[in-house]
Structure formats: structure tokens, C-alpha cells
Structure 1
């Protein structure tokens, strides 16, 4: 959920990790006193979750208070973020334990110079038609030359925008890309300050009412530029509280199965969180691909401890693309991304 080396994000991360200049240092320091956060039964006293307003199972878990019910001794705190870049910043600062970030920010987080000590235990959704490039007047991507396009920097939408421009034969310098979070994109669109935007629902739905969709992330995925919304968990937290993480994973699986078994109830829950009518929430749910725990352990996704899935290859491919766009200084080895998949935690959550 990606422009000129993302200076604002880089500055924020630098400030958050000022002790050594790396993201890993601050996050590890934040977890150094993990025992102080433990209850007598070994569960954490508090679990801070970074969520986004994306119509997937995470909002169902939040709405239904399943974690609060399953972890009665733990204070569950939900903190809203507008983009994955902000989630990365929070992870570096040590202010959340679990968060939602798109595959592009996770690629950056696992790569140098950030090297955030986190792993991916769950895929919230594979992005489809719920993320797209919408224009006010242009009827094709190449028609955006010289125009102003908004997107949240360091997000999957930013990554997809760069891919869409390249696909249309445009260089980044052929357009003006501005960094705006989704709520600001909607305001800028209403004022007429931007010509186009690459963003996700629910803001995308508002832009589509008066704009034209030029390309969707589903189309780009079919050409090898797949994007997804991923869960990230700080590695020291996962090590200290494995049963809590397994409980979290089981609730996410429960939400996906609710979507499949009772779409009306799932849409009502998502609608409450997004302030949307259930039918509109249901339509937005349909634009995403949701996977249950068994599917996530398959070879096309997270895989298993003995056989990491293709998600690792996808993240490395994204790193190579971002390196070519001068957004990363180097491309990590595939093993970096394979180690970044929490396949053991996923397996343990559903074994036995």
C-alpha cells in the first residue's frame, strides 16, 4: 500500500532509530523489557495493534472484539494508521506489536537500510480491484503526462502507480507525484487540486463516483506486479508471546471463514467500522481475495517452515523493481524474505 526515496518517511525512521541509524536497534530496545509487559500466566499485559480502514477480516476481528474475549488478561489497543509507511515508522519506534502494511512497505521494512525486526505471519488480503488509479479527465495512463497524481508514499498504491507508469511508457519525471494519505487525497480531489490518484477503498469508491478507473491492481497483478496487505509482528514479541500470536492468527482465520459462511454478518461488521451500508461493504469485500489459514500455508503464499512460499519471491521481485526505481539501495537475497515469513507461527496456530 513509493516516490523519490520517500524523504519524509526516511527522516521519520531516522529520528525513530537515532541510536545507530538502523530501524532494528530502536525496535529491539523497545522489546528489551518484554518480561515487564507479561502477566503471571505469561500473556502480555497489553497488545497494541496497528490497523487500517481496509475492508478485510481485520476489521471483523476488531468489530466483534474476538481478541478481547480470547485474551481477557490483555489490554488490546487498536491504533488506526493511514498507510503502511506509517506502520513501519511505528514498528521502528516500538509503539505497536502487530500491524497491517502493504507488500511494498514490508519489502522496504525487511530490506536495508531499515532492517525492521519483524515477520509476516498472515496475509490479510491479496489486493484486487479495491486499489486503482482513477483520473478526473484522462482516459488512459499515458494521458496523465504532465499531470498531478496523488498517492501515499511507500504504499502498495505507490508501487502500483510506478508500475502503471512504466507499463504506459511514462517516466516518473513525466508526471508530478504528490504524497497524500487517503483522507487528504479525497479532500484534494474534491477541491480539484489533483488530476488523478492511486489509492484504495473506501476513498477509492468516492473518487470513482466522479472519475474514471484507468488501471487496477488486479490487472497489474496479472502481469506480475502482485500486491497484498500483510500482517507484520515484531519478532521479539512473537518469540516472547507465541500463544498470543497463535490466538491472534486463529481470530483472523475465523474472520475469513465468517465472510465465506455468513457474508451478511461479515459485511455488517465491516460496514460498522467503515461507516458504510452493509451492501456497500459487501461489494468492497468482494474486491479482495481473502485466504484462510490452510490456504496461506500453501506454496503460492506463506508456505511452511520447510518450504517457504512464493510470497518471499514476490517480495524480492518488488525489491528489485524498487531498486530499479531508485527506491532501495540494493536488493536483498531471497533468504532475507524467506526468513521474514513467520511460517512456524502459522503452522503452530492450526496444528493439533
Structure 2
């Protein structure tokens, strides 16, 4: 691993509105607010089954967000305890927000892609010059788009890059207001129906700019409720283990695919293929040097350097280790 990206870090009033702050909960009356996104991945089954509530013995308020930027904003406000973000907003937030990365969801591959609208005249990256391309700013797809332009020697200033969230991207694409978009599901599946994939994040990763998704936790919450964080990580790891043990069983007709589709809004027939769009680390791999044991820190640093180069953040910190913790995955593995 060596780089990162996904979703904006603007503390918008819209992101904060309606997010009631939950004060410190007592051990026997624990409430956890979790910010999730509509990414197709195995832990959605555990979410649908109530496995997190059972393991943590907590009342969980699941809040859906369209972007990691909004998740970061909610965490910054204190209204979300645990959140799902991409590596780009994670890198941007790691410049001062008191958070810890506790689980690497997966390395992003085909699950994020650049799609050109039919008739837009875009066949390759070089064709984006002079075109309108939509992407959620400071997201993994924004990072991947900029990395692809750099690799193909296309000046980003020659492309009209528009900041739109996934639902807005799908609508703008359908209206013909944009020529291309780099996004994830379910918006990705929607725009594919009237467009063609020009590039996906597996190719960008091969060019040296991989991206990933992760679960993060507010440090103050983790300090007060370490057992709950451990149990959250264990449930997530177990969900991944079940998928990795027999991925072919999560077929179109499986209850797992149906549960994932219901929570994410993805088409159930597309779920099996979308699950192949990620490389999911096992619980044992989480604490290794490749991930939380070292690689993630280097990845955040590399992503931060890229974001600074693009003028998205002001400075790169000398050390990002405090923003990554392998403690909870190690404890979760030991409790198996």
C-alpha cells in the first residue's frame, strides 16, 4: 500500500444539522452512533442481522451518509462515534481530528470506476480534456481521478472537474449535464447503463495510487468504551471471514445478497460482482505490517503528501501513527 483517498472534509452545516450529540454513555446503557455508507461489502449482512447490537449489548443508531466527507463532519461534531470512510477523507482528517483507524475494509478495485456517457466522445483519459467530469471532492474517486490524469500527463486544469455527491452524479449523468464521472455504487451501477467504463481503481492502483476504505472511531469514545470497539471489530472481521471462506455462496439468490442490496440500494443481481471489486483483508492480516501494523500509517502519509500537492490540505504531519491502531483487531482475534 502506498496512498489513499475518499470523500470531502468540509464541515457543512447540512452535514451537522439533525445530528444530535450523544454524551458519554454508561456501560449498562451504552448507545453507539455509527455512520455507514452504501458500499457493497460483507459487514452489511451483520448490520442487517443485528449482530453488532448483540455483540456490544448496545443500542445502535445507524446513520447513512453519501460521502466520507459527511461522515468526517459528523465525527468532528461529536454526533457519530464510529464511521466508514475512504482513505482520502481519512488522510485529510488525520491532520488534527482525534480519530483512530481500527479496521481496513478493503483495497478498492473495480468497485470504483470512471464511466463516460455514451456519445460524450471519451474513450481514454486523454479525451477528458475540455470535458465535464463529476466526482465527490476529496474522495477516493477524486484522488484516483487526479492520479490517473497525472499518470497520463493530462493537466487537471484542462478538465472541468465538478464536485457532486453520488446521487447528484447519477441524476446529472442521466440528464446529460456531465460527460463522465468517477464514483462508486449504487450510483456507479446506474451510470453504467448509459455509459462505458474507461478506467477502474484496480488500474490506478497498478499505476502506484491504491485506495482503500476503513472504519474509524473517535478517540474519546474508544478510550471510554474499548470493549465495544473490540466487539465491533470482531463482528466485522467475522463477517469478512464468512464471505472469504465461501464467496461463491453469496450468490444472487442468497439471503446475504438480498440483505446487502436492501441496505445499500444496489441491485441484488449485481451484488456478487460488486463484492469482487474489493480485496478484503482477513482479521489476521489486519494487524500485519501491510495494514494496521505499519502499512496504513505509510499510506495515510503518502495520501496526505498527494493532497498537499493538490492544495487540498495545508501540511503533511511528521508522524501519523497515532491515527492508526492495531489494538482492537489483535484483541478481536485473540477472543476468537
> Quick check: TM above 0.5?
yes
Q: What residue in structure 1 maps to residue 50 of structure 2?
A: 65
**Pair 1:116-2:97 in alignment:** yes
How big is the shift at 1:258? 2.0
Q: Which moved more, 1:194-203 or 1:268-277?
A: 268-277
User: SS at 2:303's partner residue?
Assistant: helix
Aligned 8 A contact 2:34 2:83 in 1: yes
Q: CA–CA distance in 1 between the matches of 2:304 and 2:265?
A: 35
Q: Structure 2 vs 1, CA of residues 232 and 164 (structure 1 numbering), >3 Å: closer, same or farther?
A: same
2:276 pairs with 281, 286, 290, which one? Answer: 286
Q: Which residue of 2 aligns with 1:50?
A: 35
Deviations 1:80-130 (A, max 9, x none): 00011111100111110000000000000001xxx1100000011211011
> Following the alignment from structure 1 to structure 2, what is the Cα–Cα distance between the partners of residues 193 and 45?
47
CA–CA distance in structure 2, aligned partners of residues 100 and 43 of structure 1: 26
Contact 2:43-2:240 at 8 Å conserved across structures = no
Please report how far the alpha carbon of residue 10 of structure 1 lies from its aligned counterpart in structure 2 after TM superposition. 3.6
In structure 2, stretches of 5+ residues that fail to align are: none
Q: 1:2 to 1:258 in 2, by over 3 A?
A: closer
Deviation at 1:343, TM superposition (A): 1.1
After TM superposition, give the deviation of residue 276 of structure 1 in Å: 4.3
Give deviations 1:217-247, integer Å, cap 9, x for gaps.
1111112211001111001111110111111
Equivalent-residue separation in structure 2 for 1:199 and 1:277 (angstroms): 16
SS of the equivalent of 2:154 reads: coil
Higher relative contact order (CA 8 A, sep 6+): 2
Q: Secondary structure of the equivalent of 1:350?
A: helix
Q: Could you list the runs of 4 or more consecutive aligned residues of structure 1 that deviate by over 4 angstroms after TM superposition?
A: none
In 2, the alpha carbon distance for the partners of 1:202 and 1:345 equals 30
**Is 1:266 aligned to 2:256, yes or no?**
yes
Match of 2:223 in 1: 239
C-alpha distance 250-100 of structure 1, shift in aligned 2 (>3 A):
same
- What is the distance in 2 between the residues matched to 1:61 and 1:142? 42
Q: Which runs of 5 or more residues in structure 1 are unaligned?
A: 17-29, 304-308
Q: Is contact 1:58-1:124 (8 Å) kept?
A: no
Structure 2 residue 88 is the aligned partner of structure 1 residue 104 = yes
202, 206, 212: which one aligns with 1:218 = 202
Which residue does the alignment assign to 1:312? Answer: 297
Q: Secondary structure, in 3 states, of the residue corresponding to 1:92?
A: helix
Q: Distance in 2 between matches of 1:44 and 1:86?
A: 27
1:184-199 matches, within 5 Å, as 184-199=168-183
CA shift, 1:60, in A, is 1.7
| Root mean square deviation, CA, Å | 2.0
- Residue 141 (structure 2) pairs with residue 151 (structure 1): no
Residues 108 and 141 (structure 1), Cα distance of their counterparts in 2 relative to 1, 3 Å cut? same
* Partner Cα distance (1:277, 1:189) in 2: 19
Q: Is the contact made by 2:6 and 2:90 (CA closer than 8 Å) also made in structure 1? A: no
Alpha-carbon distance change, 252 to 43 in structure 1, aligned in 2, over 3 angstroms: farther
Q: Does residue 229 of structure 1 match 2:233?
A: no
State the Cα deviation string for residues 33-55 of structure 1 (Å, max 9, x = none).
Answer: 52xx11xxx25521000000000
Report if the CA contact (8 A) 1:121-1:341 is conserved.
yes
Query: Following TM superposition, by how much is the alpha carbon of 1:277 offset from its aligned partner in structure 2, in angstroms?
Result: 4.8
Aligned to 1:339: 322
Partner of 1:12: 12
For the residue of structure 1 that corresponds to 2:197, the secondary structure is strand
Q: Structure 1, residues 257-316: CA drift from partner, whole Å, max 9, x if none?
A: 22123424432321222344543211111111112210111211112xxxxx21111111
